[in-house]
Structures are given as structure tokens and as C-alpha cells.
Structure 1
Amino acid sequence: MDFNLSRRKRELAIAKEVTDAFLQATNAAELAPPEKLMHHFVLVCERLGITPNAPAISRILAYTSKEINRRKRVLDDLVTALNRLPAPELQL
């Protein structure tokens, strides 16, 4: 865990932008290649005008991976809940 709170907050914001860009361009049901994630990371860094160093890149990509996995779990839970609903023909 990064104890520098301002740096962590900034890196989490970047990770959120990378996650949003990645998931908008990716089918959530499929696993995308890591090159696609890196492509979106580079695009976000260029748009923000930043050049992170190696440790920052590692932290940002770790935050991004966690967020992507969290969103995938939420989507999986939603699909499971929808599958438990009765079929429309069986409802009164």
C-alpha cells in the first residue's frame, strides 16, 4: 500500500480513467489481451500529459486490474441474479 496519500489519490484517479477507457472499448464478457490495456494506459497518460516512472506504472496498473476485476464480479453477480428471475411467460 502506498502511504503517500496524495500520490495514491492521483494514481487511483488515473487508474479509474484507464479502466473506463479499457472497458468502453472491450466486451466485458471476454478477456482482452494485456496489450490492449497498455494501449489505453498510454492514451490516458498522453491525454493527461503525464509520464509516470516504473513504480508508478506498476501501482496504477495494479489499481486498474483490481477495478476491472471488481466490475467483472459486479457484472457476474448481476447476470446470476437475472438468471434467477422467473421466465416472463411464467409471471402473472
Structure 2
Amino acid sequence: MVLDFPCLADYSVLDINGLFIYCTHGHLEPVKLKMGDILLCGHTHVPAIEDRDGIIYMNPGSVSIPKENSPHSYMILEDCVFTWKDLETLSQYRYKEFPKSK
């Protein structure tokens, strides 16, 4: 691991205006989400957003060690809109909007 400090939990579940987000690094085992709306993982360091059997899989990429020629990137969530940004240019290169309440 790259971190100098221990992670206190393997995962977190967020409820943001009825949008359920399962957050995990994803390195312990393949995550097979059976409930919720979004699976947010970062283990591969490759930015992604795709539908996997009705669950939205998202990966913010990596600010420090991007893989597969992806940009140094991060993702923000604001008003139910996920936005991926290139760290070097600060430009937006992908986004996904969800309803504000379900």
C-alpha cells in the first residue's frame, strides 16, 4: 500500500438525497453489489463510469498514480452531479447527473 496510515474501514455507504453509494477501495476482493445505486471504487486507478447490471460503477481515477494512460484525475460530487477533472488542466472531461431525489 502507498498510504502511511491505516484505513479505518473497508467500505462506506452514503445516502445522498436517496442516492445510495457504496464506497470502497476495492483491493480486498471483487465487489459484487446487490443493492444500491452506485459502486464507487478506486483500486484500478483508471477513470470509469459504466452500467453493470443496473448498478453504476464509478472510478475517479488517481491523482498520483494514474494507469492505462489516463490523466491525473479526481472526481467531485455536487448537487447529484459527478464530475471527473484532469488535475493538471482542471478541465472537466466526464460527468454523470442523477435525480436530486428518488
Q: Smaller-chain TM-score range?
A: under 0.3
- The TM-score with structure 2 as length reference comes to 0.22
Structure ranking higher in helix proportion? 1
Structure number with bigger Rg = 1
Structure number with higher relative contact order (C-alpha < 8 Å, ≥ 6 residues apart): 1
Structure ranking higher in strand proportion? 2
